[in-house]
A and B are shown apart, each in its own frame.
Chain A
Amino acid sequence: MSDATLGVLLLGFAGLGPDQDHQRAMYQPAFEAHPGFEIVDAALDDPAVDVVSVCVEPERRADAVIAALQAGKHVLVDKPLALTAADAAKVATVAAETGKVCLPAHHQRFHPMIAAARGAVAGGKVGLPWNVQADFLVAGGTPSPAGELANFAVYPLDVVLALTGLRARRVFARLGTHWSDGDADDFALLLLTHENGLTSTISVGRTRSLADTRPAGLAVHRYRVSGSHGVLDIDASRPAVVLRRAEASSQVWHGPGTVDRLLDELHAAVTAGRPSSPSAADAVHIAEIVDAARASAASGHPVDLSTEKEGSR
């Protein structure tokens, strides 16, 4: 990685719902800790700004990202990149036109267990993958008023797509509200059929608080990849040193977190002048799946995705 220091403008401190502020909670501390970035207090068009970290309200997010890209800046954008696939596609078009990096914050794919698994699958360790099962269950924290399909589902969807490299063609989904008091969904079950006939099933949701899981921490986070020549189990609650004490048990690990590794990718893409991975096109495909899931859950039938627009991966 180049040792160039990139100037970062923090734009917006909002998220899905009044309590979500990933800018202050996640990105700002990670930028401050990362040697490749320096947070600058400047206007968008200031030459000192190389990268804009966008956490404006989801309704205005796509427009804000487009404005930053058109101002010649690279962008890190909180997830979801947009609330609809149509808005996400507008962003991806501008990103392609400007040639600037537009990195959606799908940081779970940088988890050390998952990153290693991506390499193993891509290297043929299990042969040709034909099925993935995933569970992404968070315990506690504030339920997203937009629902967990919009909020959390992005993460395991991105991981499944990154693991397999196969786009989804058909979506069957169920949405439920099992733990929270509001109307928003807090559980989604996604049954996808991908290119080359691969199938995947993803459960994602937010349960009530559980002992030994920090608020809004992952109680279950795992993936199983079945391939023509083997099976890969990924338990993303590991690696961990497990601590058992009188009051509670907990886990610790050393090294950069997933957001730190996301910033590594941002820095590498910007300094190398290449598109990031994930890209805005990846976020478009995930938004298409989320839209289709909503339609499927409402109708009770599977929904086929258009095959006209192909994203890059």
Chain B
Amino acid sequence: MARHSVIDDTGPLGVVIVGAGFIADHHGAALRASSRARLAGIVDVDAGRASAAATAAGGVPWTTDLAEALARPGVDAAIVCTPNMTHEPIAQQIAAAGKHLLMEKPLTITVPSARAVVEAFDAAGTVVMAAHTHRFYDYARAVDDAIAGGAVGRPVFARLALLGGWIWPDWRAWVLDPAKSGGHALHNGVHLLDLVSWWLRDEPVSVYARGRAQTAAELRIYDYLEMHVEYAGGADAVCEMSRGHRPSTLDRRDVLVAGTDGVLQLPADGWGSTVVTESGTSLLHPQAANGFAVQLDAWLDAIADRAAERAMTPADAVRAVALGVATELSIERGEPVTLDEVMEGVRS
């Protein structure tokens, strides 16, 4: 990735955070640690939550009105951490205001809206990036470095599993409402679908997925997803995303990539130390780079130098949405769904 350019004579970029939920804390911490950007305000529909977050951040301005925040002097960009169904209108508003955007994944929950958002930022001449944070974690980069270095030759089969237990609130959580989240494939599945597609350096052509309401039969989303992706070059990927495993303390990352010249593995027990205590066995994560900070830098790089190669392109973000939509559709039909079908009508 390119280092940030020297076009930096205006001081740190002013960034507002929109949506003061738990993921906003991670972005806020990355902003605090950056010398290239500063937190310029908090926006949340809930005034109490906005003011509390603003106070916690050292007394930055807060508002419940996005337009007001975007109009404030010194605000150049936004990081949006709101529920998925609000992504499209908020993104459009930010594009119209001529600001840059780091949007929590998924970019939007439909392919046409994702394409429309990208076109709006193209027209505005500002940067939009979807926060597929796993691309910026050490483990994902280690795998990518190895593949890029030719360690396995041409990758032909990849497995990625991110398995855990229930972490969501109760039945009222918007994540559990497919109309609001787009379903679990859009909410979390896109992390894995994006990551393997990046690793494999190939274009997905179809998805065959199985979904399971494991925690409760009444769930309207699939807390366990098993997604097969077929690639244009003949490779296959199997991605498992789970928030339905038990025990709920399960914390599992598993990577296997087989290539023409070798096999790469990040075994499930290979990325931490095992701690055995009276309350059970758990994994002690190794010290690692802050993926949110690395991601913030990548976004700031893209803003500073529009011509530089981007770590995560708008097309990547649209593709991730398309893969998520294809996954949900495949589960519904019990059949593979092509990317062509879900991209139909939005291709130029």
Binding site for B on A (CB under 8 A): 127, 130-131, 133, 135, 137, 139, 170, 172, 174, 176, 178-179, 187, 189, 191, 193, 197, 199, 201, 203, 205, 207-208, 210, 219-220, 224, 226-231, 233, 300-302
| B263: nearest chain-A partner, CB-CB | A219
CB contacts (< 8 Å) of A227 on chain B: these are 246
Contact flags B36-78 to A (C-beta < 8 A → 1, else 0): 0000000000000000000000000000000000000000000
Total B residues in contact with A, Cβ cutoff 8 Å? 35
Kindly state whether residue B180 has any CB partner on chain A within 8 Å: no
Q: Is the interface of A mostly helix, strand, loop or mixed?
A: strand
The 5 closest A-B pairs by CB, nearest first: A178-B156, A199-B210, A189-B236, A174-B236, A172-B208
User: Which residue of B157, B159, B263 contacts A210 across the interface (Cβ within 8 Å)?
Assistant: B263
Distance in angstroms between the alpha carbons of A233 and B252 in the assembled complex: 11
CB contacts (< 8 Å) of B210 on chain A: these are 191, 193, 199
| B267: nearest chain-A partner, CB-CB | A235
Distance in angstroms between the alpha carbons of A210 and B230 in the assembled complex: 26
Binding site for A on B (CB under 8 A): 156-157, 159, 161, 163, 206, 208, 210, 212, 214, 224, 226, 228, 230, 234, 236, 238, 240, 242, 245-247, 250, 252, 256, 258, 260-263, 265, 268, 334-336
A301 touches B335 (CB 8 A): yes
CB contacts (< 8 Å) of A229 on chain B: these are 246-247
CB contacts (< 8 Å) of B156 on chain A: these are 176, 178, 187
What is the distance, in angstroms, from B279's C-beta to the closest C-beta of chain A? 15
- Looking at B163, B206, B210, B260, which has the most chain A CB atoms within 10 Å of its CB? B210
What is the distance, in angstroms, from A196's C-beta to the closest C-beta of chain B? 12
Q: List 7 A-B contacts (CB under 8 A).
A: A137-B258, A172-B228, A201-B226, A203-B159, A228-B246, A231-B246, A302-B334
What is the distance, in angstroms, from B218's C-beta to the closest C-beta of chain A? 16
B212 touches A199 (CB 8 A): yes
CB contacts (< 8 Å) of B260 on chain A: these are 178-179, 208
**Would A135 and B236 be within 8 Å (CB), given that A179-B260, A199-B210, A207-B263 are in contact?**
no
CB contacts (< 8 Å) of A133 on chain B: these are 159, 161, 238, 240
| A192: nearest chain-B partner, CB-CB | B210
A189 touches B228 (CB 8 A): yes
| B260: nearest chain-A partner, CB-CB | A178
**Would A131 and B236 be within 8 Å (CB), given that A137-B258, A191-B208, A230-B247 are in contact?**
no
Distance in angstroms between the alpha carbons of A63 and B223 in the assembled complex: 49
| B238: nearest chain-A partner, CB-CB | A201
